[in-house]
A and B are shown apart, each in its own frame.
Chain A
Amino acid sequence: MKIDIGPVTRLEGHLSIQTTVEDNVITDARSVGEMFRGFEVFLRGRSPLDAQQITQRICGVCPYAHAIASSYAQENAYDLVDVPPNGRIMHNLIQGANHLYDYLLQFYQLSALDFIDVTAILKYSGADPDLVRLRDWVKAELASGKPFPAAPFLPRLSGKYLEDSDLNIGALKHYIEALEIQKKANRASAIFGGKFPHATAIFPGGCTQDPNIDHISSYRSLIRDVKEFIHQKYIPDILAVAGGFPEYWEIGQSKGGFLSYGLLPYGPELNSPRLFAPGVLLNGSLEPVDFEAIREDVKYSRYSSASGLKVREGALTPEPHKPSAYSWVKAPRYKGQMVEVGPAARILIDYTQGNNQTIKQLVDKFAGLAGIGAENLNSVLGRHLCRAVSAVVIADFLLDEVERIDPGAPTMASYDLPESGEGFGATEASRGGLLHYIKVQDYKIERYECVVPTTWNCSPKDDKDQHGALESALIGTQVANPEEQIEANRIVHSFDPCLACAVH
């Protein structure tokens, strides 16, 4: 039985999932990206610095990751080797705060409604003003007789939700609080980025904002508030959901390798060690990342341009009615193999290397609490937990990093635009490894390529008919109601897909 469970909501953009279900088990899955704009086409012929702004508009959820990847790529293309420490620190402060907001949004606004029972609020008898308002509103809505009462919380998919009403009500309160806290993280990044979404003060070579105590102290204060929420609310809520749905430590396992480019360099040089180490995990063994090992297949993607091209050879000719194709997303593969990117990949790769002892300790601590092993990080709950671990580590890093600003010292490298050059820039968006490539000729962009986290995770099958990470995680999943598949929705959300990113 073929069932399309799209459009899948509570993610960025336009995603459908076409499933085949037999005896309540998903036997085949197609991840379908439904929106195309063509960034790599219209970037050609523009001034290279325009890419800094235009690529941020690939995604308004994680624009800063694109700004950083573009900065790194341009720094390589321009041979910029004298980025002042303040410049790189500001890059990190902007990007790191963006991760924190994104993790909170991803758990509370995009995922929590898969697990927590909104209707528990009807039984609330306390005095918290937010919850009283929510309860009275839901009651009035349900009594109104109007179509679709209590939207956008209802209607919802059928399935089992968390049963403990205290946990449900607590999580609803934190849903509301998280909306306030994410603003603080974004205010912090806007201090140095100019505004959020879409920062204008980030450039290749640094940041234009002044490095002064006014900005440092505001940033520190905002991140402290976010850190407190992470420790006191976010982590306990994830553990509560895990307690109610322990089967999701097994469900949603992707069947390939893992890739991470590493995140947040410790120094101004681009090859500095990073807070999260880069690497590739293939068949259980760790390798350094080689950008030349990436090729993008398009057998099942709506392009007539050649398949299997390396990043620096990238081409893009749309063919909306291509008979074999079912998605606008390409299928990138590493050494021909499917890999997952994102929080689980980032943590697993760092954990395997023993790079960051705090990450190792946190993983071991939470795995112990949940009674799981590191291998269970490749799962629905594993991805959520890895975001929480990332949040803890990044918040601490940012509070240290902001103290490293040297007030009054330069923040920008000085440069003129080169006539030609090329460069890669790689970082981690909150949802996974992000690679930009720029080639400049005659002072203009000759080629610009982006291989984006969700391009990996939500890719269709490749030329060898290997499924993408999400597809592989869906296949084999048991679904109680094949028409709605709340189980599949939970798996999709755990990847935190961004389709505007994936296709761009």
Chain B
Amino acid sequence: MMPDLDRRKFLKMAACLSAAFGIGNLPEPVLAALKGIDGAALPKLIYLQGQSCTGCSISLLQADAPNAVTMVTEYSKLAFHADLSATSGKQALALIEEYFSGRAGEYFLAVEGAVPYDMPEACVIGDKTFADHLIQASETMTGAVAVGTCASHGGIPAAEGNPTGAVSLKEFYKRKGKTPLVINIPGCSVHPDWVWKTIVHLVQVGLPELINGQPKLFFERKIHEQCPYYHDFQQEIFAKKLGDKGCLFKLGCIGPDTYADCSTRWWNSKQSWCIGAKAPCIGCASPIFAAKKDFPMYRIAKKGNK
């Protein structure tokens, strides 16, 4: 559980994020809760990218209800995002500096990507390293959301043998002796619903129960538990080769070890999802995702049976 997470803070964060990510069609109690907070005084959201691939930002643009259109037309809370902002260069740096120095009012920080702890020069924004931006922000922000697996767990940039000493946002702050509020929402990429429906839950019901620092609503059960191939698993009907029908466990599926609700939520406007396309789960929302070289994503027979 997070130490300093009171309901007031959460409500503010929720309102800020729901505005930034464009939650338009909220149920009445949620709107009422949002209205209880002075809209003009709502904190802004500054979205920064570290060692990231922008996949989470692109995923947020795939949201359906609400959609990205709402995000950019109805709400003003997204003060900066490098992929969307018209501003650029020194003008953009001045905007960020106004917030990070505390002069522009209250704000939340969203971070996509890992932090290169051992090689700060491996990520630079303007005149300083990403790490220095994060330190400065820790003194002034109300809290932070770690968007995606890199920011939540280190992810791919932190894979075994990486040359930059990449770490998650929380781990970075821990090593620097800082303790800001950080909420982890993993996934490589993150599912857009996981980000904004966390917020709805906060506003409508209050503090969601967290498991391992992640909202229980989405990360309570393992993919395997609600998998459409669960029956095949019990009957020991296993796919033996890629493309076969049957439970994908023997091909390396790590749905049995991965907490996420993909099996019921699906992806891209509920069009599809990995196991729905008969692709083994690679555990992209898990802390062990891609972490170790000797834990391959797929179990495929080796020629010569070695």
Contact = CB atoms under 8 A, between A and B. Distances in A.
- Which of A37, A149, A191, A208 lies at the interface centre, i.e. has the most chain B CB atoms within 10 A of its CB? A37
Interface in A163-220: 175-176, 179-180, 182-183, 186-187, 190-201, 203, 205-210, 218
Interface string B12-54: 0000000000000000000000000000100010000111111
B306 interface: yes
A82 to B, nearest CB: 13
A307 B68 CA distance: 44
Contacts of B267: 190, 194-196
Contact of B62 (A16, A183, A193): A183
Interface in A55-95: 57-61, 63
A399 interface: no
Contact of A176 (B51, B73, B119): B73
B306 A419 contact: yes
Contacts of B284: 198
B51 A49 contact: no
A412 B243 CA distance: 6
A144 B40 contact: yes
Interface centre among B55, B163, B189 (most CB of A within 10 A): B55
Contact of A417 (B81, B268, B271, B301): B301
Interface string A110-137: 1001000010000000000010011001
A445 to B, nearest CB: 9
A321 interface: yes
Given A35-B124, A149-B76, A318-B119, A443 B306 contact: yes
A210 B242 CA distance: 11
B76 A57 contact: no
A194 B276 contact: yes
A72 to B, nearest CB: 17
Contacts of B87: 9, 151-152, 154-157
B273 A195 contact: yes
Contact of B85 (A37, A49, A152): A152
A5 B156 contact: no
B3 interface: no
B268 A183 contact: yes
Interface string B71-93: 01111101111111111111111
B241 to A, nearest CB: 6
A418 interface: yes
Interface stretch (B173-181, B201-209, B229-237, B292-300): B292-300
A147 B282 CA distance: 44
A199 to B, nearest CB: 8
A54 B280 CA distance: 15
Contacts of B164: 36-38, 318
B63 to A, nearest CB: 9
Contact of B159 (A42, A118, A148): A42
A178 B80 CA distance: 21
B69 interface: yes
B97 to A, nearest CB: 12
B70 to A, nearest CB: 9
Contact of B104 (A13, A14, A147, A302): A147
A50 B119 contact: no
A194 B253 CA distance: 14
Interface string A411-448: 11011111100000000000000000000000100000
B268 A137 contact: no
B157 interface: yes
A148 B104 CA distance: 9
Interface residues of B, number: 94
Given A137-B76, A318-B163, A152 B81 contact: yes
Contacts of A200: 274, 277, 279-282
Contact of B296 (A46, A155, A483): A46
Contacts of B83: 9-12, 109-110
A60 B53 CA distance: 5
B167 to A, nearest CB: 13
B163 A193 contact: no
Interface in B124-181: 124-126, 155-157, 159-164, 166
Contact of B95 (A141, A148, A410): A148
A363 B49 CA distance: 38
Contact of B297 (A47, A180, A195, A196): A47
Contacts of A155: 86-87, 91, 95
A176 B162 contact: no
Interface string A468-485: 000000000000000111
A182 B69 CA distance: 11
A153 interface: yes
Contacts of A57: 53, 55, 155-156, 188, 290
A184 B241 CA distance: 31
Contacts of B72: 152-153, 175-176, 179
A9 B88 contact: yes
Shortest 10 CB-CB contacts between residues of A and residues of B: A60-B55, A412-B243, A47-B296, A200-B279, A201-B277, A194-B277, A195-B267, A320-B121, A60-B53, A156-B86
30 contacts: A4-B90, A6-B89, A9-B85, A10-B86, A16-B126, A34-B123, A35-B124, A53-B290, A59-B54, A63-B55, A134-B73, A152-B78, A152-B81, A152-B84, A154-B87, A155-B87, A187-B272, A193-B277, A194-B267, A194-B276, A195-B272, A195-B274, A196-B62, A197-B58, A318-B119, A321-B121, A416-B302, A417-B302, A489-B88, A500-B52
Interface of A: 4-14, 16, 34-38, 41-42, 44-47, 49-50, 53-54, 57-61, 63, 105, 109-110, 113, 118, 130, 133-134, 137, 141, 144, 146-157, 175-176, 179-180, 182-183, 186-187, 190-201, 203, 205-210, 218, 302, 318, 320-321, 328, 410-412, 414-419, 443, 483-485, 489, 500
Given A59-B54, A110-B83, A198-B189, 19 more contacts: A10-B86, A12-B83, A41-B163, A57-B55, A57-B156, A57-B188, A63-B55, A150-B76, A152-B78, A155-B91, A183-B61, A186-B268, A190-B267, A190-B272, A194-B275, A318-B119, A417-B302, A484-B90, A500-B53
